[in-house]
């Protein structure tokens, strides 16, 4: 419960109207139900809605100042305002307080202060759960795991043995941390090796031997991982995700991968074994990064890219195979020019024929 003037201050915005108005919820204009709802207006398309519903209070960007609501807070960077507003009126996931009677906590595990662990969770031996963690339901946490403070572990998350997790980490539902890496070898040279050497299949994978994963996963502070994503453990060393990096749903992080700090990795991206992602890199959805390859610091990779060589720091790449976004645009223009080229060539051929006739005739 906040007054409009308090919200305006928090947002650093300009208040118009009655600052003493009390607000309890921030919602989309379509979902305003009562006088204690404030609506976020991000487009003039919702102006009619604001009027017809008689919405009392809105937050809007400066350029939509003409919005017709009796009370308004005008802000410079509406998306940043949205972050602050949603923080103010956050609705944290429900977990009953304390350790649920059905939660199985190994005797040798250590549970911090003010921790909530919901129904049907399992915490394995020697595992340490930091203060204020909230573990929703049906979660499995293996042996010798360290979870920092203030983490939120949603329902169905799996955390494998020896995982190290920092503070304020958020794991969305059914996240898989610490599955075994996909690492196999044939006793003799295999088909992929022969393709690498000669371009064709000259050897056969008649036997496939497993390389066991003895390493672990490290998630640094403030990491967030989306629903269903998988982070495999290292073979001998770590798979590491740096401080503040955010992964969307169903992202695949192979064994021995290193992701830097403050990266943003959109849904369904696949990062092959031992690949590296530099600090602050942004990777669009459904992109694939092969084994061993790297994406540099601050690089921006468009969605659905197929990386085929290291991406230098600060570059913007796109396409399959991924090239700079500028080059990809030019490439596309060139492809679209093929029909013209074809027509021009045909026409030129006729002119040459004509010339040939003339010249031949003139001989």
Active site amino acids: 255
| C-alpha–C-alpha distance, residues 278 and 255, integer Å | 16
Exactly one of 22, 24, 185, 197 binds a second copy (CB under 8 A); that residue is 185
Which residue's structure tokens are 């003895």? 214
- Which of helix, strand or coil describes residue 34? coil
| C-alpha–C-alpha distance, residues 245 and 222, integer Å | 7
| C-alpha–C-alpha distance, residues 21 and 334, integer Å | 59
State both tokens at 359: 């010249």
Exactly one of 50, 280, 295, 311 binds a second copy (CB under 8 A); that residue is 280
Displacement of CA 142 from its chain's centroid (Å): 25
Is the CB of 51 or the CB of 344 nearer to a second copy? 344
Compute the least distance from the CB of residue 3 to a second copy, in Å.
19
On whether the CB atoms of residues 136 and 153 are closer than 8 A, the answer is yes
Give 178's Cβ-side CA count (13 Å radius): 23
- Tell me, residue by residue from 99 to 138, as one string, x for binding to a second copy by CB under 8 A and - for no binding: -x-x-x-------------xxx-x-xx----------xxx
Asked if 343 touches a second copy (CB under 8 A), the answer is no
Is the CB of 113 or the CB of 345 nearer to a second copy? 345
**Sole window of 1-9, 48-56, 62-70, 320-328 interacting with a second copy (rule: CB under 8 A):** 320-328
Which residue's structure tokens are 């609705």? 91
Number of residues that bind a second copy (CB under 8 A): 142
168 CB-near residues (< 8 Å, 6+ apart)? 148, 149, 150, 151, 221, 222
Is the CB of 130 or the CB of 284 nearer to a second copy? 284
Considering only residues 8 through 27, tell me which ones interact with a second copy, judged by CB under 8 A.
25-27
Asked if 205 touches a second copy (CB under 8 A), the answer is yes
**Sole window of 3-11, 47-55, 64-72, 227-235 interacting with a second copy (rule: CB under 8 A):** 227-235
**Sole window of 16-24, 49-57, 64-72, 189-197 interacting with a second copy (rule: CB under 8 A):** 189-197
Is the CB of 34 or the CB of 362 nearer to a second copy? 362
Exactly one of 148, 228, 242, 278 binds a second copy (CB under 8 A); that residue is 228
Compute the least distance from the CB of residue 191 to a second copy, in Å.
6
On whether the CB atoms of residues 225 and 247 are closer than 8 A, the answer is yes
- Tell me, residue by residue from 138 to 177, as one string, x for binding to a second copy by CB under 8 A and - for no binding: xxx-xxx---------xxx-x-xxx-------x-xxx-x-
Asked if 49 touches a second copy (CB under 8 A), the answer is no
Considering only residues 66 through 85, tell me which ones interact with a second copy, judged by CB under 8 A.
77, 79-80, 82-83
Asked if 260 touches a second copy (CB under 8 A), the answer is no
- Which of helix, strand or coil describes residue 157? coil
Helix (H) or strand (E) holding 105: strand 104-105
Helix ranges restricted to H, the chain: 4-11, 47-52, 78-88, 191-198, 325-362
**Quick count: other Cβ atoms within 10 Å of Cβ 103?**
19
Could you write out the DSSP letters of every residue in 262-284? Answer: S-EE-TT-EE-TT-EE-TT-EE-
Exactly one of 24, 197, 212, 309 binds a second copy (CB under 8 A); that residue is 212
């Amino acid at each position: 419960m906040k007054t409009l003037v308090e919200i305006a201050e928090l947002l650093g915005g300009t208040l118009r109207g009655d600052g003493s108005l009390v607000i309890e919820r921030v919602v989309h204009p379509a979902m305003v139900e009562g006088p204690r709802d404030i609506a976020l207006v991000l487009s003039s398309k919702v102006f009619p809605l604001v009027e017809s519903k008689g919405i009392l209070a809105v937050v809007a960007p400066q350029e939509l100042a003409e919005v017709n609501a009796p009370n308004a807070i005008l802000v410079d960077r509406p998306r940043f305002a949205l972050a602050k507003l949603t923080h103010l009126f956050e609705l944290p996931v429900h977990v009953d307080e304390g350790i649920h009677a059905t939660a199985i906590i190994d005797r040798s595990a250590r549970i911090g202060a003010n921790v909530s662990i919901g129904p049907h969770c399992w915490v394995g031996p020697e595992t340490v759960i930091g203060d204020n963690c909230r573990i929703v339901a049906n979660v499995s946490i293996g042996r010798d795991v360290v979870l920092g403070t203030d983490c939120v572990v949603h329902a169905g998350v799996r955390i494998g043995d020896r995982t190290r997790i920092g503070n304020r980490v958020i794991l969305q539902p059914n996240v898989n941390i610490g599955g075994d890496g996909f690492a196999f070898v044939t006793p003799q040279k295999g088909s992929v090796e022969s393709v690498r050497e000669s371009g064709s299949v000259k050897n056969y994978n008649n036997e496939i031997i497993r390389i066991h994963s003895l390493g672990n996963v490290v998630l640094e502070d403030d990491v967030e991982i989306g629903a269903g994503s998988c982070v495999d453990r290292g073979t001998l060393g770590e798979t590491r995700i740096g401080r503040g990096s955010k992964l969307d749903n169903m992202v695949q992080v192979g064994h021995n991968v290193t992701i830097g700090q403050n990266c943003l990795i959109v849904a369904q991206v696949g990062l092959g074994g031992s690949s590296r992602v530099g600090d602050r890199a942004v990777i669009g959805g459904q992109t694939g990064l092969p084994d061993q390859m790297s994406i540099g610091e601050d690089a921006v990779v468009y969605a659905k890219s197929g990386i085929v060589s290291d991406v230098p720091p600060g570059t913007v790449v796109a396409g399959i195979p991924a090239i700079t976004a500028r080059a990809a645009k030019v490439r596309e223009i060139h492809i679209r020019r093929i029909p013209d080229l074809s027509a021009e060539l045909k026409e030129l051929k006729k002119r040459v024929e004509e010339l040939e006739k003339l010249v031949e005739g003139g001989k």
